[in-house]
Structure 1
């Protein structure tokens, strides 16, 4: 089943507000191999002029997983989760964010397109991340929906 682009781009996602917790940020930074102590050590962050631990750049992607059903929109679009692949992700940063910040995420589907005669469909989701109404970052993720029967 192909994705209806109009339906996908008309989907309304509830905003999600998440508080960035210091221990979780430090754990994430260590897990991804971050060695700069401004992400894991409060004293080092403050000595570097920051008010708290910095949020690691790719941490924003994991925040969306805090939603009650983070992939429910795929089911709503009739997408079989067994057919999806992670295509890519990218970020545009507007300001630094720190442990203790309350961040609001507002996702939306921004584009749907296909390649290889419909064998691959690409679902582009953009999430604006704000703090107190100011844009902190934009996260873009691309999911690939495989339709192997279309390639035959």
Structure 2
């Protein structure tokens, strides 16, 4: 069983920069066609500080950690038993090229189903830029299959 004392625990923050080239690559990979994702002038004309990040880009920022499985490893969960369950996003001010983003992740719930055969961990990650603006949050649910 996963240690329920992790509920409410926050992990060390990650502070990372957002480079325009990474945003362009992510936009290309996700099929964005709007010029605001390629051209600073088009983005500024549309009211952005610079090239904005496509909506789910915050997930890639959290992978910048030295250990992208930081919370799974900290909780001593075997990665071979982990399935991706669900992911949801809320949006605040757009992330833009040149931003310095701080991500803070916290375990908000752990519960089981099927008599403990499956456990669920819900991790919420909040993002803020260098101006103190709320960039939104990401909530991930992982499913841990417990062997019999």
TM, length-normalised to structure 2: 0.91
Q: Matches of residues 19-34 of structure 1 in structure 2 within 5 Å?
A: 19-34=17-32
SS, match of residue 111 in structure 1: strand
> Runs of at least 4 residues of structure 1 off by over 3 A?
none
Partner of 1:9: 7
TM-score, length of structure 1 as denominator length: 0.89
The residue that corresponds to 1:63 in the other structure is 61
CA contact (8 A) 2:17 2:100 kept: yes
15, 18, 28: which is aligned to 2:16? 18
Q: Any conservation in 1 of the 2:123–2:139 contact (CA below 8 Å)?
A: yes
Helix, strand or coil: the match of 1:67?
Answer: coil
- Total equivalences in the alignment: 147
5+ unaligned residues in a row in structure 1: which ranges?
none
Structure 1, residues 101-141: CA drift from partner, whole Å, max 9, x if none? Answer: 11100111111111122111111100110113332111111
- Aligned residue for 1:66, secondary structure, equals coil
Contact 2:7 2:109 in 1 (8 A): yes
More helix by share: 1
Q: Secondary structure at the match of 1:27?
A: helix
